[in-house]
């Protein structure tokens, strides 16, 4: 419903606002990188490359990232930009509306039509379509379910999507403008925020759970730790972080998880209980 969509939109605007004010870009905002912990949405997978090569998912790439992918030599000076995250946030909201991948059918059709073309670049047809200046036809993308078609009659929601998904990055909303948009000013302004609490002012936590993260993620953390110490061994946070990094987790991801946990000394079992307790 509209409340759920508004809560997620508000959380995205606040999480991205925090990142962008800190001088960071996420570059891979997508449903897999947004998890809910209790009533709080968390943006995860912050251990991103410092450049654009391989840093993003095609389905959530902005038009300027599409142009970069089509001709990296020509756009070699292109740097990560906050507007790229804003576009991806708009696509995520479209996904929520259609209860699936809003652009997946379009991309699949373009990819299929390009099977016999001599393109060396995967998804080249998709990137060419995305890079075209024509605006997205939101009505054509959101045709079901009926409840979402009805939601699109909300003029504030329609305007928000139009402003997030403007193909010109200079006209696209900033995270601050996103947060102040009329659609986000409805009921429940304190609900589902990414950084309303002191805890959430730290970088949003990769792979944080509250029972919301799957067993595969849990096993990944546990396996990384068990390569070096037992699950019951207690270590200072610094050494615990090093064990996770040596086991294959990104340093930024490990440090953020431990910061969220808040304990100065802990065991693997305590850490996993924190991440995945309900």
pLDDT digits (tens, 9 = 90+) for 31-49: 999 998 888 888 888 876 6
What's residue 164's pLDDT? 97
What's residue 193's pLDDT? 44
The 10s digit of each residue's pLDDT in 114-144 is 676 665 677 889 999 999 999 999 999 999 8
User: Of 37 and 66, which is predicted with more confidence?
Assistant: 66
* Cα distance from N-terminal residue to C-terminal residue, the chain: 24
Whole-model pTM: value is 0.67
What's residue 214's pLDDT? 40
Q: Please determine, for residue 60, whether its predicted confidence score (pLDDT) is greater than 80.
A: yes
Q: Which range scores top for mean pLDDT: 52-56, 170-174, 188-192, 206-210?
A: 170-174
Statement: 2-199 belongs to CATH 1.10.510.10: yes
């Amino acid at each position: 419903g509209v409340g759920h969509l508004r809560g997620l939109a508000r959380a995205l605007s606040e999480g991205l606002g925090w990142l962008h004010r800190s001088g960071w870009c996420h570059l891979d905002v997508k449903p897999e990188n947004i998890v809910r912990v209790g009533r709080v949405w968390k943006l995860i997978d912050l251990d991103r490359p410092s450049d654009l090569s391989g840093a993003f998912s095609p389905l959530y790439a902005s038009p300027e990232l599409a142009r970069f992918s089509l001709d990296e030599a020509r756009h070699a000076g292109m740097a990560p930009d906050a507007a790229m995250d804003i576009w991806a946030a708009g696509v995520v909201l479209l996904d929520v509306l259609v209860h699936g991948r809003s652009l997946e059918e379009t991309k699949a059709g373009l990819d299929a039509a390009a099977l016999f073309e001599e393109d060396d670049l995967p998804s080249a047809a998709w990137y060419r379509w995305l890079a075209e200046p024509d605006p997205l036809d939101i009505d054509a993308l959101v045709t079901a379910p009926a409840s979402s078609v009805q939601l699109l009659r909300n003029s504030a929601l329609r305007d928000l999507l139009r402003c997030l998904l403007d193909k010109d990055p200079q006209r696209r909303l900033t995270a601050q403008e996103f947060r102040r948009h009329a659609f986000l000013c409805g009921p429940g302004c304190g609900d589902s925020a990414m950084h309303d609490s002191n805890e959430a002012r730290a970088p949003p936590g990769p792979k944080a759970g509250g029972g919301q993260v799957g067993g595969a993620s849990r096993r990944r953390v546990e396996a990384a730790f068990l390569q070096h110490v037992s699950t019951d061994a207690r270590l200072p946070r610094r050494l615990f972080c090093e064990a996770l990094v040596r086991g294959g987790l990104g340093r930024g991801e490990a440090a953020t998880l431990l910061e969220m946990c808040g304990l100065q000394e802990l065991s693997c079992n305590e850490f996993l209980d924190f991440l995945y307790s309900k």
